[in-house]
Structure 1
């Protein structure tokens, strides 16, 4: 007689495999399941069990209507902490959290059909907590003794790590794409020896006037850029593999529909990109449109030069004021007062011009500034009238100094020396484009002409008309002093002449 151990070995001889799963099958009490004792298993179930045990990939078999589970060692790793309790359990109960999914599998495959899923997302409780996983799943029916489906075999390959890795790559790629798109600098990628555009960001598209250049070589996409030597620079980088950097480079671009070339300035770098063999395959273009910065720097240089010019002119004016004043005074005190007042008048005129960036001044503003020091609170002794007119800095300074001398004289000897006199400053522009400035005093002491010609007289009768290429005359009338300057509008608005006395 054969003993029980020998009988048991004979019973499971069909497994033909040694391993943890095979040992569990040998020790498991299958009589407690719908499959019954192993001795009663049909040959189809035995054969299918032996086949899955030999497979290195995770396989689980779901036998019968209940889907009783038999699986191999690889599947036991996938099952986690649910192994070995899943052995002999009904699949809808063993994986209760996805019972609906498995119910569809059983119904479909027992009807003779197959199912396949790629990167199927499921939430499983393999280790005592809900876990999101992804799997490639292939389900096929297993025929029974009568040829009809008696069970389902499932090949289960977990792809969670690959899916998450792909997602990380996609997220990183999207992040880089967002950085590329939202970068404040212009960026582009060209490939091949003909420098064909693969990528451009919005700032680069803005730089080139919104042109669609993707897929085009630079010679076709931006012919004006290629003709200016930038294609040759790309050739150099592609050939040598050495990056190239340029600062404040001038480039002419067609940025509108009319095709007119527009001057721009850019800081940029051409960075070669190599493949695994060290060969240059692409060039990354990155830079900034610094046109406004370059123009500001050029404007600053121009302003510095202009400032130097104006400082020299101002110093020359002050030197002339001091020299001319000293010729006509008798005492140091008189000289000091006269020089101070005239330099202050020049300073006020400078302030007005500085506020206007030295490109000219509103004439009324300049006249108001010149007469401000001679107004009396509560008395309207000075009236100003004339059309709105912008004059050049040269004319503005000359007129301001002349008005200061006239007002100073009026305070000392004329209409502003008493409580009843008035002064009118007015200007007109004729249809022949002639400019006339008049100074009229009324109500002051009787005017008396003298032979003595001081700095003020020389300024308004000789220097002023000479500077403004016009004529000047003074009238010592019964009602008060009058002065008239006539010149061309061209001389008045000219901003290029230098100021001198």
Structure 2
């Protein structure tokens, strides 16, 4: 319990014993324009007591000089300039924003108020120029005659929020670009009415360029209402179970006119759950396979081959979506991770497609997998290894593993800082043992979290299992090191 303040104490008006209150008591006010505390007008004492006891960062600028009196919360904002800032003139205390302070004093002492939202300023709180953003509210403090004698400022720093919003906008734009460039059609529908919320160009092309954003599927594509697709969406939404279809026949109309056209689609309906675990959205991804099954002379061959590949691709997509949703904290995080991982899968497919799925050049596969992480600056990657080819299944597994390593490096490892570097090397020993190394250097200190998410299981369990090899990761002080070993036969898919 705070002891009572003696009645004859000149600082009794403070009614507080915190650090800022002690500064008021100990400060030599006689060397400032305010003079000794015993001479202070009641208006100054009352305003000082109010701000000293407030938990919100507040500073008062008294008189023409703007002598600064502030509370404990503001001292945190002041950084290393506290406590020397206390009792100083505002133009001298914050010289880098003297012009801004001049305007504040001019307006406030004239009886006006000022309010700024996310005001950007350059301050030297830590010994170097720092860009900060703040919400600032200024109002005059009146003396006993009712005239403005000072200015009181409520200061709420919003730097973290502003920077987070900027990062989120940049990330959203990047994901939108990736979503738009996806080689397969993708869309997201939300709610029990299945309202279109995301549509990529390939899906828009599939439906004849119709503008469907904001519309329910039943209204946007009325021709599909009686073909069973709404029933499938309802089932996924109510049960939370994913649905996959291969070479599914559908009749679509070109725009809103003309006859119905027969198409064949491979697709997956994947539920996306909200924070409370209920299904909120359905992610749709697939391919239009019509032209590949219309060539009658090659129909059986194409269908057999297509079924084999698509089932594996959709299984990979379904696994990615399911595992990502299982560990994502929000639908937004899930959508971002799903898009990035599907793009990594699509990148491997592009490399294989150029080679007619007979295999892939390992260097081209690695370059494709790390491309999203290269950035605009100097090349952060160093690749070394002999020319060699890997089989389709090994190519997809390695590409997904490199994506997870790159994502982790961008967030926490070497690629999170400008000086960071990653070396990717591969070799084949005399014992016909293939080895792949990912070695980071120049990043922040590495600390093993102990958490095993989808990415960790992919590179340490799924990848070695598929290649009948071994994988391990070493959290070295100078960066993460990952190693995979497997027989050359397995890597070339010769054993399958």
Alignment correspondent of 2:298: 300
Alignment correspondent of 2:136: 137
Alignment correspondent of 2:259: 260
C-alpha distance in 1 between matches for 2:9 and 2:299: 103
Larger Rg belongs to: 1
The more displaced of 24-33 and 187-196 is 187-196
Alignment correspondent of 1:91: 90
TM-score, normalising length: structure 2:
0.57
> Does 1:200 pair with 2:188?
no
Deviation digits for residues 451-480 of structure 1 (CA, Å, limit 9, x no counterpart): xxxxxxxxxxxxxxxxxxxxxxxxxxxxxx
Structure-2 change in CA distance of 1:247 and 1:88 (3 Å): same
Counting only pairs closer than 5 Å after superposition, residues 103-114 of structure 1 correspond to structure 2 as 103-114=102-113
Q: CA deviation at 1:181?
A: 2.2
Structure-2 change in CA distance of 1:92 and 1:300 (3 Å): same
Counting only pairs closer than 5 Å after superposition, residues 286-297 of structure 1 correspond to structure 2 as 286-295=285-294
Q: Which runs of 5+ in 1 are unaligned?
A: 1-5, 305-501
Q: SS at 1:78's partner residue? A: helix
Alignment correspondent of 1:223: 222
Q: CA deviation at 1:137?
A: 1.0
Deviation digits for residues 313-346 of structure 1 (CA, Å, limit 9, x no counterpart): xxxxxxxxxxxxxxxxxxxxxxxxxxxxxxxxxx
Deviation digits for residues 372-426 of structure 1 (CA, Å, limit 9, x no counterpart): xxxxxxxxxxxxxxxxxxxxxxxxxxxxxxxxxxxxxxxxxxxxxxxxxxxxxxx
What root-mean-square deviation, in Å, do the aligned CA atoms of Structure 1 and Structure 2 show? 2.3
Counting only pairs closer than 5 Å after superposition, residues 389-468 of structure 1 correspond to structure 2 as none
Structure-2 change in CA distance of 1:258 and 1:116 (3 Å): closer
Q: Do the aligned residues in 1 keep the contact of 2:116 with 2:137 (CA within 8 Å)? A: yes
Q: Do the aligned residues in 1 keep the contact of 2:6 with 2:12 (CA within 8 Å)? A: no
Q: CA deviation at 1:7?
A: 11
C-alpha distance in 1 between matches for 2:53 and 2:141: 17
Alignment correspondent of 2:166: 167
C-alpha distance in 2 between matches for 1:276 and 1:258: 41
Counting only pairs closer than 5 Å after superposition, residues 35-74 of structure 1 correspond to structure 2 as 35-74=34-73
Q: SS at 1:18's partner residue? A: coil
Q: CA deviation at 1:132?
A: 1.1
C-alpha distance in 2 between matches for 1:286 and 1:303: 24
Aligned residues: 298
Q: SS at 1:45's partner residue? A: helix
C-alpha distance in 1 between matches for 2:7 and 2:232: 83
TM-score, normalising length: structure 1:
0.56
C-alpha distance in 1 between matches for 2:209 and 2:105: 58
Q: Which runs of 5+ in 2 are unaligned?
A: 303-496
C-alpha distance in 2 between matches for 1:256 and 1:148: 70
Q: CA deviation at 1:279?
A: 2.5
> Does 1:153 pair with 2:168?
no
Alignment correspondent of 2:114: 115
Structure-2 change in CA distance of 1:9 and 1:126 (3 Å): farther
Structure-2 change in CA distance of 1:220 and 1:150 (3 Å): same
Alignment correspondent of 1:242: 241
C-alpha distance in 2 between matches for 1:195 and 1:89: 62
Q: Do the aligned residues in 1 keep the contact of 2:57 with 2:74 (CA within 8 Å)? A: yes
Structure-2 change in CA distance of 1:299 and 1:17 (3 Å): same
Q: SS at 1:227's partner residue? A: coil
Q: CA deviation at 1:257?
A: 6.4
Alignment correspondent of 2:274: 275
